[in-house]
A and B are shown apart, each in its own frame.
Chain A
Amino acid sequence: MRQMDLFSSPEPMTPITVSGLTRYIREMFEVDYRLQDVWVEGEVSGVSRPSSGHIYFALKDAASQVACVMWKAAAPMFGALVVHGRQIVAHGKVSVYEPRGSYQLYVDRVQSKGLGDLHAQFELLKARLEAEGLFAPERKRPLPEFPHRIGLVTSPTGAVLRDICSILSRRWPLVELVLAPTLVQGEEAPPQILAALDALYQRDDLDLIIVARGGGSLEDLWAFNDERVARKLADSRVPIVSGVGHETDFTISDFVADLRAPTPSAAAELTTPDRLERAAQVTAWQSQLVSAMSGRLHDWRAALVSQRRSLAHLSPQMRLANLRQHADDLISQATLAVSHQLQLRRERLTGLVARLDALSPLAVLQRGYAVVRRDGQLVKSVVQVSPGDRLSVRVSDGEFDVTARSEV
């Protein structure tokens, strides 16, 4: 056999290669027929389902665990039973995964063995507290819109605290975080969590309390399934938000809390407003202020214009102006009438003058007659004249004197 060849070098100190050793060990497993057809009972833990379709997990009991893989081919039939915390009986063969030098159970069949121990405890406690009304919807309190101070129960080291701080810094840095540090895993965790909560309960300046822990197996999260912790959470005067494990993990703390956040980061998001959203709201209100104010001003200005207009109609100036215009009208009418009269008179005068001309003695004189006067008296008869009298004779273009010589 090849195995034998590996160690059959003539030189005692000749080393073998790592892959040689690993292959040798794998073949050791594979030649043992009991390991090639075995049933193993244990609790499922650390399930991973990558996109390849294979399922990787561990089976464990109180003392040990074994890595398991279920190939894609078996997954549709049995994959549903591979659930974290579940007690199962798996069938398969044991072999070595050479690249890592680790042995694992290649599972090809699974039978359910009912709930795992922890799972059973969880269900029992959950049913009991639920019956007591600790999870009742009417116990749930609303969260404040703008928290000023948030209490945080979590580990002072690790990613959870950093994640929460970075989300708060980004979303709502106006808040103050009061950290009550505690272990979040293991035997010591529940009493520490109780002490942390008690310390926070001493304060009266907190708006809410977040209880947080990152993801892990059912055992890792077990402190948050502790009955004492659950009852302590139920005692809180301010709302409790739980952010324990991943989205798929449920703990008793989640049920007691006023709000269950799927993850610690989600707890930070759900408890705070978004700074950018609020800033945008403030900006929107600011422009609403401006447009409302300019609308008001526009209304007032329009009202002012129309009032000024009606005032103008009623003002004494306006009446004076009207009267003045009326007066102007009258004056021009009068002027027209007067000049018309004058014209008429002028025409009548011309007529009269013509008539006067027709009657004038001068016109007779033109025809050759003369007017004779004696001492200014018209001479109309011979009796008025004696010889030697001086007479004046008027003809059309002048006068001359004559002397009367004889009687007629």
Chain B
Amino acid sequence: MKKQIKTEELSFEAAFAQLEEIVGKLEAGDLSLDDALALFERGQRLATLCGTKLDEAELVVQKLSASGALEPFDVDEER
């Protein structure tokens, strides 16, 4: 069996891609009951993770200083 990475460590992109793959596999059938249940569970976790990431994300804006360092930047303060 493939090495399973903990869902918490995944980026949205990776979780989204894995979820799509799992849905495809589960819909195609020809799986053992154990494999299907494991995929189903993982799919549910990935879907939750994707939803959470979408709901909780907040745009981060940073300004590149003259030295090349990043500093936090508040858009609304610059007027």
Instruction: Mark out the residues of chain B between 26 and 78 whose CB falls within 8 Å of any chain A CB in the assembled complex.
Output: 26-27, 29, 31, 33, 36-37, 40, 43-44, 47, 50-51, 53-55, 57-64, 68, 70, 73, 75-76, 78
When distances are taken between beta carbons in the complex, the residues of chain A under 8 Å from B27 are 288, 292
**Chain B interface helix/strand/loop/mixed:** helix
In the bound complex, CA of A400 to CA of B13 (Å):
132
Bound: A17/B75 CA distance, A: 47
Residues of B within 8 A of A365 (CB): none
* Given contacts A165-B61, A282-B54, A286-B44, A146 and B26 within 8 Å (CB-CB): no
Asked, given contacts A199-B68, A282-B54, whether A177 binds B60 with beta carbons under 8 Å apart, the answer is yes
Select which of B50, B64, B75 is within 8 A of A162 by beta carbon. Answer: B75
Bound-state CA distance A288–B29 (Å) is: 13
A334 at interface by CB-CB < 8 Å: no
Residue pair B54, A278 in contact (C-beta under 8 Å): yes
Q: Interface residues of B toward A: which range?
A: 35 or more
Are B64 and A289 in touch, CB under 8 angstroms? no
Complex CA–CA separation, A173 to B12 (angstroms): 12
Question: Given A165-B59, A278-B16, A282-B16, are A178 and B31 also a contact pair (CB < 8 Å)?
Answer: no
A285-B19 in contact (CB<8A): yes
A-B contact count (CB 8 A): 107
A174 touching B53 by the CB < 8 A rule?
Answer: yes
Q: Is the CB of B63 within 8 A of A179?
A: yes
Indicate whether A102 reaches chain B with its CB closer than 8 angstroms.
no
Whether a CB of chain B sits under 8 angstroms from the CB of A180 is yes
In the complex the two chains form, is B64's CB within 8 Å of A200's CB? yes
A293-B36 in contact (CB<8A): yes
Per-position 1/0 for A273-298, Cβ under 8 A of B? 00100110111011011001100100
